Structure 1
Amino acid sequence: METEIVSAVSERTEVIVEAAARLFLGPGRVSMDDLARELGMSKKTIYRHFPDKHSLLTAVLDRQFGAIERTLTAAARETAGRPFGEQVRGFLIAACGELDRIGAAQLATGRGDPVLRRHVEQRMDAVVYQRLDELFRDGDRRGLLSTPPELLSEIIRGAVERLLNSQLPRQLDRSAADLLRATVDTVLYGAIRPADE
């Protein structure tokens, strides 16, 4: 009996987080009243699962970053054993594609909330940038980089954040992931030494 109750609570929590992700990461401002209407439940019921809007938004963000982490792990597995440039390119394209898909522009701004913005920055660092830094350090240890790995990391971080928050993808009718692919190819073309050197 207790297992059934826990399962029902978990299911309801997941339904709330899923609806909140759809609404809160979409365009425009959304209130808890809007979410309650969408779910067909009272705000009181939502607040039984999440004590405040911040905790709900944090759960939404953590769910989104969990998806990014799974995508990056899969991309690393796919490119394992391939040339270093393909590994870096695969990682970055997967990261930017996933960030673009889940609405990273809204994530990056934290919807105007400094606490959420800090949470997003911490999750971006832990899920994306620390992995990228390690990939570049590994390339440097193997003698595959002609540029300091820290510089490459900073260039790529700047490009990712700029492209995800820029109007350029819409102006060029391309996705942020497409433009990052071009950026990565441009930056890495001169940064990675050929394997036969």
Structure 2
Amino acid sequence: METNSVSGVSTDDAQRADLIVEAAGRLFFAPGCPRVSMDDLARELGMSKKTIYRHFPDKRSLLAAVLDRKFASVERSLIAAVEGAEGQPLDVRIQRFLIAAGSELDKLGAAQLALGRGDAMLREYVEQRVDAVIYRRLDELLVDGHRQGVLPAPPELLSAIISGALERLLTSQLPRELDWTAADLLRATVDTVLYGAIHSGDHAVDDAP
């Protein structure tokens, strides 16, 4: 007897949808992989396109499901980074969070650009997920540091600087030109920004009459 979920979707249907999303993620996010068609996906799965479309009415909805899974994994990695740095100084907590974020976004980088190319709605969807999963958590750390008096600079300013640097580093040719990984560049950038932010209050004290 077939067991139904609360949503009314059969277990078999849910498992098949999961297999489709898993295979789509492998194909769409494969390094150096050209644009993948639904025919390619059907061949990979050994099922008809009609079966795929029964679960996902179009490629955009399938890509959204793939991205949901990818960003869920990103979020788990970031939570682990934050929990692993608990009790450490604020700059260490922020650094570890951002290095983890940079590493995860680096994995998504090429695919993220490819998925968004020519599809404004999908690109906006990706940007919203990055904002919700990464930058919102970064803002919370910066606001907390400002509240504690560790970061005298406005948290909004620091957030704009760091997020801009993060995006630029992951989409530029700089890592290749310097023969550094994106994580190495991000670590150096974060160290520089946070050092200036944390010690900006020292200069105010030194300059005081």
Task: Name which one, 1 or 2, has greater alpha-carbon Rg.
Answer: 2
5+ long unaligned stretches in structure 2 = none
Q: Which residue of 2 is the match for residue 110 of structure 1?
A: 115
Q: So what's the TM-score if we normalise by structure 2?
A: 0.86
Measured in 2, the distance between the counterparts of 1:106 and 1:72 equals: 20
Q: Which residue of 2 is the match for residue 119 of structure 1?
A: 125
Does the CA-based 8 Å contact 1:105-1:164 persist in structure 2? no
Aligned counterpart for 2:146 among listed residues 137, 140, 149: 140
- The structural deviation recorded for 1:94 is 0.8
User: Does 1:34 pair with 2:34?
Assistant: no
Measured in 2, the distance between the counterparts of 1:178 and 1:3 equals: 50
Cα root mean square deviation, aligned: 2.0
- The structural deviation recorded for 1:98 is 1.1
Deviation digits for residues 136-160 of structure 1 (CA, Å, limit 9, x no counterpart): 0010000011321111100111111
Amino acid at match of 2:93: Q
Does the CA-based 8 Å contact 1:100-1:175 persist in structure 2? no
Measured in 2, the distance between the counterparts of 1:129 and 1:64 equals: 16
The DSSP-based 3-state class of the residue aligned with 1:2 is coil
5+ long unaligned stretches in structure 1 = none
Q: Which residue of 1 is the match for residue 2 of structure 2?
A: 2
Amino acid at match of 1:111: G
Amino acid at match of 1:169: P
Deviation digits for residues 157-192 of structure 1 (CA, Å, limit 9, x no counterpart): 111111111122233333212211111111111112
Does the CA-based 8 Å contact 1:108-1:120 persist in structure 2? no
Q: So what's the TM-score if we normalise by structure 1?
A: 0.91
User: Does 1:88 pair with 2:102?
Assistant: no
**Greater RCO, CA 8 A, separation 6+:** 1
User: Does 1:155 pair with 2:183?
Assistant: no
Aligned counterpart for 1:71 among listed residues 77, 84, 91: 77
Identity across the alignment (%)? 62
Moved over 6 A (4+): none
Measured in 2, the distance between the counterparts of 1:182 and 1:130 equals: 22
